[in-house]
Chain A
């Protein structure tokens, strides 16, 4: 295949054969109880140097409690999948957890220039859909995916993409390297103890993320019986065998919203977004991550039951989110 142009950016090398071998050797096929604390899940399944993906973001049905736990445990040198993000990448970079970022959208602000200038983080440029297509290829066990976008941009030279002559038509087409993250964290509405999970409403690429990743941690608003899945299998988003850990995390997306369950905490969103825009997230990290030991303690000591009830009350829409 003739290569017309290629990006110079470093990228996580696709290895479909290696991924299959990982699945053969590490993924249990039987129903085993994977319920554990957020601390244990992050200790066991997030390693320094991992390629790290999350679905959705810190404000929109993202795994916010798990992101805070990753920061609390001081994970290092993560390569972050920065798609559809307002603040999560900024938090991970400011906390010293991330050293590389693939950028789709990461929320604007002075923090990124500062981190790049200081040599604390290396950036590679993509777009949101380009990143979710890379995950799609990873979720299919393929080495790459062809797309009809991204060519001609200035992101292209800072990526792992290639512009090639399509061997079938002879026309130019962009190829993206498949993405198989080492670990992904996903927040879901419901899961059972084995990792079967349901996401209601829209998402970004939760299914692709789960299938494409070597290690998968779910946090769930609610733990339900496996029989519930058997009663309505059409609503299963993620099957148990791709999942490594299940964390019961009510309000696990806080300060973000979970559709049909609770709204975002507007004051907190403004506090966090404002801190990022001003380029100083340290006081935020101190208050919301380092000075508390767990998600449960965060809800108890920093948020309070009254606020949580208010957030539930403010979510008035139920259509499509109940079983």
Chain B
């Protein structure tokens, strides 16, 4: 494994989450962008036997890569050599029965209690906010998987005290709220990962807790890109940079066009330190 010398923020994000994936757990990845890339990357480099589910009821495929744009579900490449083909309700049933350990999701906004907004930025009523597509499968994933990993960008407008709209549940208003809303006991948000940082939750309060930062930022830089102050782990670790092997998989098989990872800033190794690159974007 060779540490990378030049990479995009979102590539780093995908690699961080891919390394959290465990071979003996089952996963449901939301949608078709970064969450799907994390499991595909892990399957290729770290956990070849890992089992995953997609929203159209595909069980543990050996996906044929790369995918055409948007063809990440109900598509022959995405469902190639699966163990079972089902439907959205079969996927929902597996999760509701407790068979799915970890859900991986993207979010537009996240708050202190890990609630997920994929519906609207700003007010809901009257079409005055900036509208997005809705929860999709994420509501079921966040409600039913035993643990949920959220992926988002490290931006002040994305880390807010209370999301503008709870599309999918985190801890809702705090301890005990999920059970009161009818969600299964023992299910919970688990991690929030951004290109800059890794968060968990403090057990007692269910509040977001900073656990680690990336090698190209400081804790203060992360906190400056949040609208609230998170709990802090006793010791803040430093995340490893991507490896060249990981980047090769991402660039040659997953996000070949750079549609997902091409946005955001670039990082390079300069004089032994990881710093933001002066030139941005993939040429």
Contacts and interface: CB of A to CB of B under 8 A. Distances in A.
A104 B181 contact: no
Given A174-B182, A269-B70, A147 B96 contact: yes
A155 B130 CA distance: 16
Given A84-B73, A128-B137, A153-B166, 12 more contacts: A103-B134, A114-B127, A128-B140, A129-B137, A149-B183, A155-B139, A172-B180, A201-B76, A203-B74, A269-B68, A317-B64, A317-B80
Contacts of B56: 84, 202-204
Interface stretch (B14-22, B84-92, B202-210): B84-92
A259 B86 CA distance: 14
A201 B140 contact: no
Contacts of B85: 201-202, 320
Given A149-B140, A203-B87, A116 B183 contact: no
A110 B119 CA distance: 12
B197 interface: no
Contacts of A149: 96, 139-140, 143-144, 183
Contacts of B136: 84, 104-105, 127-128
Interface in A83-129: 83-84, 86, 103-110, 112-118, 125-129
A130 B127 contact: no
A128 B144 CA distance: 14
Interface in B102-135: 119, 124, 126-135
A115 B127 CA distance: 8
A204 B87 contact: yes
B113 to A, nearest CB: 11
Nearest to A174: B182
Interface stretch (B167-175, B220-228, B270-278): B167-175
A52 interface: no
Interface stretch (A205-213, A225-233, A291-299): A205-213
Contacts of B166: 152-155
B79 interface: yes
A-B interface, 10 closest residue pairs, ranked by CB to CB distance from nearest? A116-B127, A152-B181, A151-B181, A117-B127, A105-B136, A149-B143, A127-B139, A151-B182, A60-B74, A317-B76
Contacts, number: 210
Contacts of B178: 152
A59 B181 contact: no
A1 interface: no
Nearest to A208: B89
A203 B91 CA distance: 11
Contacts of B64: 317
B135 A132 contact: no
A154 B165 contact: yes
A297 B181 CA distance: 52
B177 interface: yes
Contacts of B169: 151-153
B133 A108 contact: yes
B89 to A, nearest CB: 5
Contact of B76 (A207, A273, A321): A321
Contact of A155 (B89, B119, B180): B119
A142 to B, nearest CB: 14
B237 interface: no
A294 to B, nearest CB: 25
Contacts of A321: 76
A2 interface: no
5 contacts: A105-B135, A152-B180, A155-B166, A208-B87, A269-B68
B236 interface: no
Contacts of B69: 264, 266, 269-270, 273
A153 B167 contact: yes
A133 B183 contact: no
Contacts of B131: 108-110, 112-113, 116
Nearest to A131: B88
Interface string A287-323: 0000000000000000000000000000101011100
Given A86-B70, A112-B127, A202 B143 contact: no
A263 B80 CA distance: 14
Given A132-B88, A136-B89, A204-B88, A153 B168 contact: yes
A158 interface: yes
B180 A154 contact: no
B242 interface: no
